[in-house]
Every structure is written in structure tokens, then in C-alpha cells.
Structure 1
Amino acid sequence: MAMVWQQDELFPTASETEIQRTKFLLCKCKSMLLLMNDYEKFTRDMQQVATDGEVARRIDQDELHADKTVNAVILIEKQRWVYEQYQLYTGVIRRATSLIQDKEARDAIQHRYIEGHSFKETILFFRYGLSDSTIRRKLDEGIRSISNTLKLMGFFEKDDEEV
């Protein structure tokens, strides 16, 4: 007996919640990239500040005289964990963006979210080639494409487990 596959199983479509999650991640993408870059450049400085500074002392608000060394290690580990999460998020976003088939939609997503320009700047960037409504539509198409790709990759299931 032959198995029949439905198209929904082979090419899943993202739900409205998943599309909103994708848009949220896209809006945070530039900030994540900047923080990752800063972390890579200044890891040693951040570790020294955590060890020497008052930040380590305030990890536990209830205990005013906490062990600074232990708290500094906790703070450093938290910073490293956040960095790794940002690497995961930006990595899948970049992969999904590169898989958008419509070049105009891919370019609009790249300019607006990955490079971090405002919507107005994006409109001005594409001013001579595309109208405002076309840019808005291309951005929506790009977000849907990224959402569907993330769904296909199993990103939302993994993301839900971590939250």
C-alpha cells in the first residue's frame, strides 16, 4: 500500500503566532548582531568588570554581602549563554533569509531587518524601483517565507522547548 503525503506535511505553513515571533526576532536581529560583536571584541573586559565591579555583588538582591567571585562566574556564564542564544537566532534568520526566492523580498528583508534600517529608510533606499505599498508587501512576503522556513527547520518547536 502506497503512502500518500499531504502537502501540509511536506511544506508546513507557519501559524500567525509563528509569523509574529519571526517578526519580533527580525526586529531584534540588528541589536543581537551588535551585542554579539561587542561580546566577541570585549569578552575579557566584561569578565574583568564582572569580577571587579559591583555588578557581581548584586546578582542576588536579598544577600547584600554575596561572594563576588561566585557571582562574577554566574554573570559571565549568563553573558555567554545569551551570546550563544543570539548566535542561534541570528544564524537561523540569516539562513532563512538567504532561502527567500524573490530577490526583491530578500533585499527588502536584508535592508530593513538584518542591516537594521527604519521602514522610512528602506522606502527611500528602494524609492526608484518600488512603491511604498510594494515594499510593504515584499517585507510581508519575506517575513512569511522566513517563518515557513523556520517552521520547516523545526525552529519553533525547539524555541518553544527553551521558553
Structure 2
Amino acid sequence: PWFVFFQKPAPANDDRKLDPPLNMKAAMILFSVACIVIGVVPGPLYEFLPFNPENAGVPHYHAYSYAHVVNQLQLLLFSGLAFFLLLGMLKRTLTITLDFDWLYRRFVPAAWQWILRPLLLALEPFHQGTISGLPRLAAQTFGAEGSRQESYRPWGVSRTVFLLTLILLAFLVLNLLAD
């Protein structure tokens, strides 16, 4: 956060200087007020929580006890002190940081390009032979009479969605009746 607020100003033609839209500002104001209210008056939030410590024999949690306030202030002040003492080492550099997003930005495309794609291309003749033989196999197995075109007709999106809706409705009704 330090470099977001206190770094050198961006050039005048930079698009990052635009203010957020009104709905984003309203959401930020709403949630910042909610955070302040919950921090100042935590009692109503604790009433909504499913675990009541008094019923479980646990003494009530006091967020503003002397020991807790001193402990949290020590953590905040010493981490702030460490930050400002090491600020010289935290200069911004234009480098690429490999975080978790490296997996889906670099590793997955490379794995697709060099491992999975050649494997799928090698298995393509087997896949095509299997798919082209399925209608004939189904017609022979289930005794469908007629040509190959009649034994394999695609349903279309509307029929498939309707069938899935009926299955989900039946599952919902059975689930409600089971309770």
C-alpha cells in the first residue's frame, strides 16, 4: 500500500489515474462504514454467530481488554517500525514477480502446448474411430432399426435443457421429501 499512495506520480496521459465509477465509490464507502461499525460495536455481530461462548462454558471474549489492546498495538507499531527501517530496501523495480498466477499464466499454457496438445493429436485417430463407430454399435446393441442417420439424431439444446431441468426438479422434490 505504501507505493500505491506515496510513489512518484504517474504521467498525465496514464489511464490508471481515472477515478472509479459512482457505484464502486458507494460500495467502498458502505463497506468501510460497516468495518468501522463492527470494530467499534462488535456485540451485535457476535449475537448472529452460531457459537455462543457463554453457553459452551468459555468466558466471554473482550476485544478491548488491556492485554489485548497492548498486544495488538505492539504488533502494529513494531511491524511499522520494521517497515520504515527497511524502506530503503523496498525500492520499486520493474520486474516480473512469479506468484501463484504463474501456474495458470505460464505453466498451464506451456503444458498444453508441449504435452497435452501433442498427446491429443496422437490420440485423434482413435477418438475419431470411436466416435464414428458409436451410433452403429448402439444400433446393433439396442436393436434400433433403420439407417445410421436414424439411430443417431442430436436432440438439440432445448430438449437437453428441458431434460436436465426435469432431472434437477425430481432431485429437488426427492430431497425435500427425504427431510
On whether the aligned pair clears a TM of 0.5, the verdict is no
The alignment's TM-score, normalised by the length of structure 2, stands at: 0.19
Greater helix share, structure number: 1
Tell which structure's C-alpha radius of gyration is larger: 2
RCO comparison, higher one (Cα < 8 Å, 6+): 1
The alignment's TM-score, normalised by the length of structure 1, stands at: 0.21
